Structure 1
Amino acid sequence: MGALHEGHLSLIRMAAAENHRVVVSVYVNPTQFGVHEDLDSYPKTWETDCGMLKDLDKELAEDGNNLGGIAAVFAPTTDTMYPSGRPDQAVNAKGSFVTITPVGEVLEGASRPTFFRGVATVCMKLFNIVMPEKVYFGQKDVQQTVVIKKMVKDFCMNTEVVVGDTQRAPDGLALSSRNVYLGTRRRKVATVLSKILRVAEMSYLREHRLRDELLGPAEQLTKLLLMEQHQLPPEERVNFEIDYISLADPETMQELDEVDETRGAIISGAVKMLPVEVPQPGEDLGLSDGPPVRLIDNIILKPVKL
């Protein structure tokens, strides 16, 4: 959806290493935003994005290990993507939709009930227009990758879904176009989610398999990090809310009581970084004066037995 960062570029590099021609789609899809979500303020950086893609294509051409480079940038208008008119963003809106259930109804789908309907619909359209042999998605949006894989399978589409690793900042924060909203103060605390997930992962690596054994330490750390902020004065604190911490099946995203060592699992979560309570003079609040920012992240718990 534009506002390109290193996570997007890493996927393009993967595609260029494996394919002769890479098509980059750039489109801010309105139907995956809820009625009160940040469609109007979502960062739109077309000129910067084009410059990044131009530089990347030059880099790919100079690297003799690649099969190809960026053959085209597909940046459609909403009239092109929705020729009968853009459907409303309401849950009960009328229109032509692709709905993938039940995997699209849990976690992100529970918090954002029109999100995966919009994602699946626009991806079906993009796949039909471009007709790619392979499509590349990032692991950061792990539930999205599961939804798209199921859509491709269930609709008998001749497209391979490739998932690239989550790209992170040095402090562990998953790269996201929405990070530009955070500002300096919230950016320092935004690693809370990755820290919580890492605690659960460490429990798995210590051979714990039960839900309480994995998520219990993560929930304890959540309480400690919240307490740390609440003890600070309003001029310094950062308020946040954990939406969910999940231990789910890697193919269905349904919650697990215990990890099957032959299948592994996905630990994922979402946090809402609330606006700065008492801004200080000259403080960097982030893009659009620092609105609420919803961040997601996940860790794949790999199978340990075949």
Structure 2
Amino acid sequence: MEPGIKTQISEFLLLGLSEEPELQPVIFGIFFSMYLITVCGNLLIILATISDSHLHTPMYFFLSNLSFSDICFTSTTVPKMLVNIQTQSEVITYAGCITQMFFYIVFAVLDYFLLTVMAYDRYVAICHPLHYTVIMTPWLCGKLVLVSWIMRVLYSLLHTLLVLRLSCTHVEIPHFFCELNQVVHLACSDTFLNDMVIYFASVLLGGGSLTETIYSYSKIVSSIHAISSAQEKFKAFSTCASHLSVVSLFYCTSIGVYLSASATHSSHSSAAASVMYSVVTLMLNPFIYSLRNKDIT
């Protein structure tokens, strides 16, 4: 096999969302504002869950981890984009690109897992309320988060190592960050193994998480439907309304990104669509949880 991409090039060019010079200040202002809102909003949730003893519950433990993951998620892409706009440069080093791709995968997949675990937490709380404290122990919650971190790091490492074996001379990435598919498509060497791993991993992890979430909520809906009191029904539903809103937003935007990517030949259109999934959704999560949860308002 030819030498890896690392021996052929030392940097990539991130083409961003638009190459029009007059749009760069507008894009910078919008993304800078969204980044500040995302970081501050999620930090406030983390601080609230730490400082308020009433929020020391499994649901808010997972929520604080989700907020931390969202901060890291958006921090892997937006700051570099802002620096490139400010310096009028499209360059990202080879090492920087691989590092960005690695952490992007880690935190993107971690979000899926945490949302799935939170769905299970709501399932236990509503369907088995008398056994909730017995099932959702601090030890189990901690182990779930720890295992999720280990599995996601290994998963991201697998993709990163598979990318390192590729060889190529193309340097232009029609995106605002080093997204896995975009980097793989730069390759001049055979990408069959990379494509198969991406496909099967998406089906197993994404499909598995979505299936588990749907199953949990089907049981939740069934349990709520069996409650005779309308007031009790509303109370039970309100405990999972915020999470259901975030799950719907997260999955709808991520599925929309990949549908738009396959339906359009424009790489810039695909990059613009991914903004909803990787930036806007993360910004809206704190608002959804704070507005719909009286405990943290």
Identify the TM-score tier after normalising by the shorter chain: under 0.3
User: Which structure would you say has the larger RCO, counting Cα contacts within 8 Å and 6 or more residues apart?
Assistant: 2
Greater helix percent: which structure? 2
Greater strand percent: which structure? 1
